[in-house]
């Protein structure tokens, strides 16, 4: 049963960039919130100071904004349940930890790292699962008082009772049950005074009125500790949903270290945000049909947690490339024009002037042939400069004895044309072939090589019309001179 206005959160740690797995978690939270008239909240879980990376919060926020996942509450937006940075909420966690200590649901632990290491080694030798041996649970009130007074370093641990079954319902996985004997007495407050993920997470989710916790499968084994904390505090538990792992094509776990899986990397490579979001949505979810192309609004409309799969989702870069091409083709020409201009500004053609009319013709000619905006330039540089070199394989195959003379004849024919359109070039070429007594192919292929430097591309007469009569003639003359066989 979904509460009337659910509240969900994306709660990343600022340890670097937003990775694809994090983007999927954020996206599913966003889609669920929007589909159910709820609120999507950003909270930064920055209590692990060893892993904190300078600038990471700004990176996360910039990446979310770029892909269009707008949150209603967050560190830079405020809201009724702030602060939204955990490092600014330390007093809150201490208060709740002390509450648990007072109720004997948690206890002070003064064990040194050396002792903990020794206990762990002994347990491993005996083939036991390493966990804390509750040594400090038996300290008297006086001993605790004394150690605290003498500033002996301590942590606060959960007091997990043995022989209990901890069960909860997961929207994606169904009924999940854990045995408390395999759960360690989790540290809640570390010796530096900062809370661990477990305490901060539960306290914040409760105080921020989070109704649904949607997160990656790697947190599933932590959930029994969280369920116990809710019970310890007497708080209502949220609905849990653990998302499937992301896998490489060989079904190994997608690692942050395996290639560029940060959103920024995909942006830098020229992927469209719409395509990336569409692709990431399909890593574990489908709407129950065979459809693969989605705009964000459409996904909001169709999304449900019940249609998220349990099994791992394979990350297939070919599918992302295909989606990028699909999204690119569906963009209005005006938007493509703006994107192409931006791309030209960071290319070697920076500062070279091309009219909008000209660039729109290039877009029309190349639209079906590109998957990325940068490919308008990479796949057809001949629209932006005359070729300096000519493909040797094409020369061998297509440039015959007499080709130079033939294209110079055609250049003469072209020079007589007045404001030619595409069809005029075609008519002139056919007439010239007839006059020379050769098949049109004997002219078409050398002309293509002369004007583009390559053997493939859009229709030849499209190219000639776009670059124009003077440029065409200039390129034909230059090739006739330069290409030797």
Catalytic residues: 256
Q: Which two tokens stand for residue 138?
A: 């038996």
Report which DSSP code applies to 381.
Answer: G
Q: Which residues in 343-363 are b (16+ Cβ under 10 Å) and which e?
A: bbeebebeeeeeeeeebbbbb
- The dihedral over CA atoms of 155, 54, 81, 232, expressed in degrees to the nearest 10, equals -20
The string of DSSP letters for 101-145 reads HHTTSEEEE---HHHHHHHHHHHHHTTPPP----GGGG--HHHHH
- Helix 20-35 and helix 273-281, axial crossing angle in degrees, nearest 10: 80
Q: Residue 32, exposed/middle/buried by CB under 10 A (0-12, 13-18, 19+)?
A: buried
Q: Percentages helix, strand, coil for the chain, rounded to the nearest 5?
A: 50, 10, 40
Taken in order 453, 458, 461, 464, is the CA torsion positive or negative? negative
At 426 the three-state DSSP class reads helix
CA distances from 426 to 429, 464, 478 (A): 5, 10, 21
Q: How far apart are CA 426 and CA 424, in angstroms?
A: 5
Taken in order 76, 81, 84, 87, is the CA torsion positive or negative? positive
CA distances from 454 to 234, 481, 485 (A): 73, 17, 16
Beta bridge partners of 195: 189
Q: Which two tokens stand for residue 197?
A: 């993920």
Report which DSSP code applies to 99.
Answer: H
Taken in order 109, 110, 113, 119, is the CA torsion positive or negative? negative
Tokens 């670059």 identify what position?
Answer: 467
Q: Are 185 and 131 in contact (CB under 8 A)?
A: yes
The pair phi, psi for residue 123, each rounded to 5°, is: -65, -40
Beta bridge partners of 74: 78
Q: How far apart are CA 481 and CA 319, in angstroms?
A: 45
Q: Residue 79, exposed/middle/buried by CB under 10 A (0-12, 13-18, 19+)?
A: middle
């Amino acid at each position: 049963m979904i509460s009337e206005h659910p509240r969900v959160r994306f709660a990343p740690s600022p340890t670097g960039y937003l990775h694809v797995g994090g983007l999927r978690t954020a996206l599913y939270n966003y889609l669920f919130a929007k589909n159910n008239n709820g609120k999507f909240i950003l909270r930064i879980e920055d209590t692990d100071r060893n892993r904190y990376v300078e600038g990471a919060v700004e990176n996360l926020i910039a990446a979310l904004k770029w892909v269009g996942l707008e949150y209603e509450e967050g560190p830079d937006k405020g809201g009724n349940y702030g602060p939204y940075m955990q490092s600014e909420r330390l007093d809150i966690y201490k208060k709740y930890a002390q509450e648990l200590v007072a109720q004997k649901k948690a206890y002070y632990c003064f064990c040194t790292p050396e002792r903990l290491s020794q206990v762990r080694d002994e347990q491993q030798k005996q083939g036991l699962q390493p966990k804390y041996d509750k040594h400090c649970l038996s300290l008297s009130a006086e001993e605790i008082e004394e150690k605290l007074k003498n500033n002996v370093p301590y942590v606060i641990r959960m007091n997990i009772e043995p022989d209990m079954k901890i069960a909860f319902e997961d929207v994606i996985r169904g009924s999940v049950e854990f045995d408390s004997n395999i759960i360690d007495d989790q540290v809640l407050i570390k010796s530096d005074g900062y809370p661990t993920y477990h305490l901060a997470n539960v306290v914040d989710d409760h105080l921020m009125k989070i109704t649904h916790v949607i997160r990656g499968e790697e947190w599933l084994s932590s959930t029994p500790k969280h369920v116990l904390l809710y019970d310890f505090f007497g708080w209502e538990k949220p609905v849990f949903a653990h998302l499937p792992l992301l896998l490489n094509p060989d079904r190994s776990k997608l690692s942050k270290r395996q290639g560029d899986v940060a959103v920024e990397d995909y942006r830098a490579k020229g992927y469209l945000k719409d395509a990336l979001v569409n692709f990431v949505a399909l890593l574990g979810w489908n709407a129950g049909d065979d459809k693969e192309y989605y705009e964000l609004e459409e996904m909001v409309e169709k999304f449900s947690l019940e249609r998220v799969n349990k099994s791992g989702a394979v990350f297939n870069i070919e599918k992302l490339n295909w989606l990028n091409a699909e999204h690119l083709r569906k963009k209005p020409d005006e938007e493509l024009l703006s994107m192409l201009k931006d791309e030209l500004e960071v290319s070697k053609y920076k500062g070279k002037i091309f009219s909008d009319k000209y660039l729109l013709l290039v877009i029309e000619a190349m639209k079906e042939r590109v998957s990325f905006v940068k490919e308008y330039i990479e796949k057809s540089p001949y629209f932006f400069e005359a070729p300096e070199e000519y493909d040797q394989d094409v020369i061998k195959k297509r440039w015959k004895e007499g080709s130079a003379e033939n294209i110079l004849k055609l250049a003469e024919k072209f020079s007589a044309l007045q404001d030619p359109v595409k069809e005029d070039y075609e008519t002139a070429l056919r007439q010239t072939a007839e006059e020379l007594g050769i098949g049109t192919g004997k002219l078409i292929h050398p002309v293509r090589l002369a004007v583009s430097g390559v053997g493939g591309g859009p229709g030849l007469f499209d190219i000639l019309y776009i670059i124009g009569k003077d440029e065409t003639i200039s390129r034909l003359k230059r090739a006739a001179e330069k290409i030797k066989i």
